[in-house]
Structure 1
Amino acid sequence: MKLHIPILLALALTACKEEEAKAPPPPVELNTAALSFFCQMNVLEHGGPKGQVHLEGYPAPLFFAQVRDLVAYMKSPERDAQITAVYVSDTGKAASWDDLGEGNWILANDAQFVIGANVAGGMGAPEIVPFGDAASAKPFLDKYGGQLLPFTEIPDDAALAPVDLSQTLETPS
């Protein structure tokens, strides 16, 4: 009987290790080769927060010139590969709207997002703006309005609703 206990403990420990989530792949720094998934335009040529989605079995992430586009991709039912990580720019740590920093990434599930603010993202549509925490989002909310939500609570219409091209949106400084 005493011999069975160490074997059972070893099996239980092995099962626990298999259930542990694999660490996400690290974010990839932005460079001139990064093209936005939907439009194939250079990501660095557009202001505002960016995103990247890592897919299992793919060597490079999908980049997005606007977080709104990343959210639209995530809400799309037509994805084949398993997502291993989703990163967004931490706007609270950015030098400016046009200089977010090449390596300024946080996991989307760890971020807070401003939706409904009167700001245009890199592609000109209303932007969903990520921040590392609620405190760093407060000055932005005070200036541009909107609502702060976690990634999992961003409503579909924040990314998938038609864009009113007659509206005047601000470009943060």
Structure 2
Amino acid sequence: MNPYRRRAVQAVGLVFLGAAGCTGEPQQAGPRLAVEISRGDFCHVCGMTILEYPGPKGQAHEHRRERPLMFCSTSDLFAYLLQPETAARVREIYVQDMDGRDWQEPGPGPEGFVDALEAWYVAGQARMGAMGPTLASFSTRQAAEAFSGEFGGRLLRFEEIDLEVLRNLGGDTLRRQRQHQPNGHPSDH
């Protein structure tokens, strides 16, 4: 079982048991939902202003934080998530569904975020994110396949993304960009 799924199940169970012990009645703590990104939000990894850059964004709710950590790109989100100490702290993870969104300005609203554990990702595609090469994120396989058909790359699920995938994003993206340009020079479509 994915460490994030296992931790989420354990955390919900502990909250449920803890609440029952305090009041004598079982109470459930619901999941924290994605929130709107504001103009003043900065990326937890790189410190960049999130809304000033292209590509999909991410959010991670931690157990003891009211507001989620925000990320300017899915690659920064995964760089954070793949740190050994992170799994124990993270409760919910969201990424933007890029199906129908403007890549250059995907928007701040919470309605475009989906559960990162259920999303489909396209690695090595030709579009650049806030920090350069990034993972394009989608709520459906069909949308991810359509994007891959246009911009290249390979489909991945959450549990398939590791540090090796992140390290290879740069070379894969540059190759895809060259394939999509008639003159062989990279650009951001």
The normalised TM-score by structure 2 is 0.71
Q: 1:121 to 1:21 in 2, by over 3 A?
A: farther
RMSD over aligned Cα atoms: 2.7
Query: Could you list the per-position Cα deviations for residues 70-123 of structure 1 after superposition, in whole angstroms to 9, with x for gaps in the alignment?
Result: 1111111143862111000000141x1023232210010121011121221112
5+ unaligned residues in a row in structure 2: which ranges? Answer: 1-13, 18-25, 178-185
Match of 1:171 in 2: 188
Is this contact kept in 1: 2:122–2:135, CA < 8 A?
A: yes
After the TM superposition, which residues 92-103 of structure 1 pair with which residues of structure 2 at under 5 Å, given as runs? 92-94=99-101, 96-103=102-109
Q: Are the equivalent residues in 2 in contact too, given 1:111–1:130 (CA < 8 A)?
A: yes
Query: Which runs of structure 1 show a deviation greater than 6 angstroms over 4 or more consecutive aligned residues?
Result: none
Which of the pair is proportionally richer in helix? Answer: 2
In structure 1, list runs of 5 or more residues that go unmatched.
1-14
Which of residues 114, 123, 133 is equivalent to 1:106?
A: 114
Cα distance in 2 for residues equivalent to 1:149 and 1:69: 17
* Structure 2 equivalent of residue 9 of structure 1: none
**In structure 1, which of residues 115, 132, 135 is the aligned counterpart of residue 142 of structure 2?**
135
Greater Rg by CA: 1
Q: Deviation string for 1:115-142 (max 9, x for gaps)?
A: 1212211122x11111010111222111
The one-letter amino acid of 1:31's match is S
In structure 1, the partner of 2:76 is 69
Equivalent residues, number: 154
User: 2:32 is matched with which residue?
Assistant: 25
Q: TM-score, normalised by structure 1?
A: 0.77
Task: State the Cα distance separating 1:163 from its structure 2 match.
Answer: 4.4
Amino acid at match of 1:171: D
Q: Share of identical aligned residues, percent?
A: 31
Task: Call closer, same or farther: CA 1:48–1:81 in 2, change over 3 Å.
Answer: same
Query: Relative to 1, partners in 2 of residues 1:116 and 1:163: Cα closer, same or farther, differing over 3 Å?
Result: closer
Cα distance in structure 1, aligned partners of 2:86 and 2:145:
34
